[in-house]
Amino acid sequence: MDLEKHDIIVQVFSKLDRLLDQRMPLVPSSHDLSSNQAFLWRGDVQNLRPVKRTVRIAHADLLSIEQQKQAVLENTRIFLSGQKANNVLLWGERGTGKSSLIKSLLTEYASSNFRMIQVLKHDILTIQGLYDVVAENPEYRFVLFIDDLSFEEAQTDYKELKTIMDGGLEQIPDNLLFYATSNRKHLIATRFSDTQDDEVRPSDTIEEKVSLAERFGIRLGFYHMSQDSYLEVVDLYAGKAGVTMDKQELHTLAVRWSLQTGGRNGRIAEQFVRSLG
């Protein structure tokens, strides 16, 4: 074999080796779960990345969702005590505090054995890779957080997620719960046409689509704020920001802002206060 052909073969195998390194998942490394409370699951390499700047949200700052707060707190308290608890789905209008409520658990239980792992949507089908990590650390109680979980009509990933949440042949670790948020009550787009096709049993289509949401034993709705509740949140953020404007003028501007942006919720209230400079 001449030198030129040899060099070409070496280059080809070198490229193949690099491609295999990129494609093959890494063996999960050991993690110091005692020094961090929050982690991000990296499904591509089957590993956890510690969150170094953990968000801190006080429960007292989450207004107009008292019933939802108490339900989530009680379920989490039961879970942390070592008892059986439910997976939680928070669904409803955007900007109404769904994600903030789950994140606030990091503040509420900062000095406990509570640990939160966020899984991004593109990694949900790799969740089973987490089960060994969770099971090998029974001294901690883990909430697996999936934010903005939803599927379009043509997507079929939800069928696999159902199996992942049920465990299949593998038992779900006792120290793990799923907490998710979504703008959709049933997570998957459903249409009137689902009951108007030529299936013998069209109801089966709907049943299959809502069955993923039923994996969450607690399902709580979040709705548009009343104007009074919206202004209460505006006052809260204005106080934190040190705004000294006359309250009546503040409220007038806040209402005008909500009309311009097309809604009333906590996120819009916070954005309004930021606009005041």
Do 254 and 220 touch, CB atoms closer than 8 A? no
Residue 191, pLDDT above cutoff 60: no
- Which residues pair with residue 209 across a beta bridge? none
Do 71 and 217 touch, CB atoms closer than 8 A? no
**Helix 266-275 to helix 247-261 angle, to the nearest 10 degrees?**
120
* pLDDT for position 16: 58
Closest to 121 (Cα-Cα) out of 76, 173, 211, 182: 182
What does the alpha-carbon distance between residue 130 and residue 258 come to, in Å, rounded to a whole number?
Answer: 42
Do 225 and 185 touch, CB atoms closer than 8 A? no
What does the alpha-carbon distance between residue 136 and residue 133 come to, in Å, rounded to a whole number?
Answer: 5
Convert the pLDDT of each residue in 214-259 to its tens digit.
Answer: 889 999 999 888 999 999 999 999 999 999 999 999 999 999 999 9
Q: Between residues 4 and 110, which one has the greater pLDDT?
A: 110
Helices (H), the chain: 3-23, 66-80, 98-103, 105-108, 128-135, 157-166, 203-210, 227-241, 247-261, 266-275
* pLDDT for position 190: 61
Query: Which residues lie below 8 Å from residue 201, measured CB to CB, with a gap of 6+?
Result: none
Convert the pLDDT of each residue in 120-154 to its tens digit.
Answer: 989 999 999 999 999 999 999 999 999 988 777 66
Convert the pLDDT of each residue in 53-76 to its tens digit.
Answer: 999 999 888 998 999 999 999 999
Convert the pLDDT of each residue in 199-212 to its tens digit.
Answer: 554 544 556 667 77
Closest to 263 (Cα-Cα) out of 233, 220, 221, 242: 233
Closest to 265 (Cα-Cα) out of 234, 221, 241: 234
Residues across the chain: 277
Give CA separation, 171 vs 113, 156, 164, 166, in Å: 22, 23, 10, 8
Query: Which residues lie below 8 Å from residue 36, measured CB to CB, with a gap of 6+?
Result: 50, 51, 52, 54
